[in-house]
Amino acid sequence: MDDLRALYQEVILDHYKRPRHFGALEEANRRAEGTNPLCGDQITVYAKVEDGVIRDVSFEGMGCAISTASASLMTEALSGKTLEEAARMHSVFHRLLTAGDEVPDIEGLGKLEVLAGVRDFPVRIKCATLAWHALRAALEQSDEPVTTE
């Protein structure tokens, strides 16, 4: 059960059961959907962007513990960040999930580090990245729904 506890850390279960920034954002000026075709999960990410800064961000949709917690933690981490900071964090987060045996440089990731355990469950990596893919589409103002494929 140890690796399960590493995957489903308390912080993750907490964000799964009580997701933060959950629900549509009325003043959003960016919005995108993400779909995980593997399980049929759908998520919508909303963002309010002004002067290159993410003033507010939220999400809604059904998902597993990993995708919900990842989305919730993402919204916490990105509120108030510049677009450049958000892009950097996305790439660092991606590195966290895809690093092999070497210790990845994840400086500045903060609480998102709790998702490191997903690394050992390759089929679940897409769950953890779903919200991030949707967010990137939102920030790029793509009108197309995105998927994790």
Partner 1 sequence: MTATPTIDGSQPVSAAPTLDVEAVRREFPILERLIGKARLVYLDNAASTQRPLAVLDAERDFETHAYSNVHRGVHTLSQEATEAYEGARERVRRFLGAADAREVIFLRGTTEAINLVAQSYGRAEVSAGDNMVVSEMEHHSNIVPWQMLCQERGAELRVLPMDDDGELILEELDRLLDERTRIVAVGAVSNALGTINPIAEIARRVHDAGAVLVVDGAQAVPHQQVDVQAMGADFFAFSAHKVYGPSGVGALWGRRELLEAMPPWQGGGSMIQSVRFDQTTYAPLPAKFEAGTPEIVGAVGLAAALDFVDRWGMEAISAHETRLLERACAQLDDLPGVRRIGNARRRASVLSFLLDGIHAHDVGTLLDRDGIAVRAGHHCAQPVMQHYGVASTTRASFGIYNTEEEVDRLVEAVRRTQEFFA
Nearer to partner 1 by Cβ, of 4 and 103: the residue is 4
Find the radius of gyration of the CA atoms of the chain. 14
DSSP state for residue 107 in the 8-state scheme: T
Q: Contact between 130 and partner 1 (CB under 8 A)?
A: no
**127 part of the interface to partner 1, by CB under 8 A:** yes
Do residues 64 and 127 touch, judged by C-beta distance below 8 A? yes
Is residue 38 involved in binding partner 1 (CB under 8 A)? yes
Closer by beta carbon to partner 1, 47 or else 116: 116
74/78 with CB nearer partner 1: 74
Q: Quick one: which H or E segment has residue 14?
A: helix 10-17
Asked whether position 43 contacts partner 1 by CB under 8 A, the answer is no
Q: Is 50 in the site for partner 1 (CB under 8 A)?
A: no
Contact pattern from residue 3 through residue 22 relative to partner 1, giving x for each residue in contact according to CB under 8 A and a dash for the rest: xx--xx----x---x-----
| DSSP string computed for 68-94 | HHHHHHHHHHHTT-BHHHHHHHHHHHH
Tokens matching residue 11: 């912080």
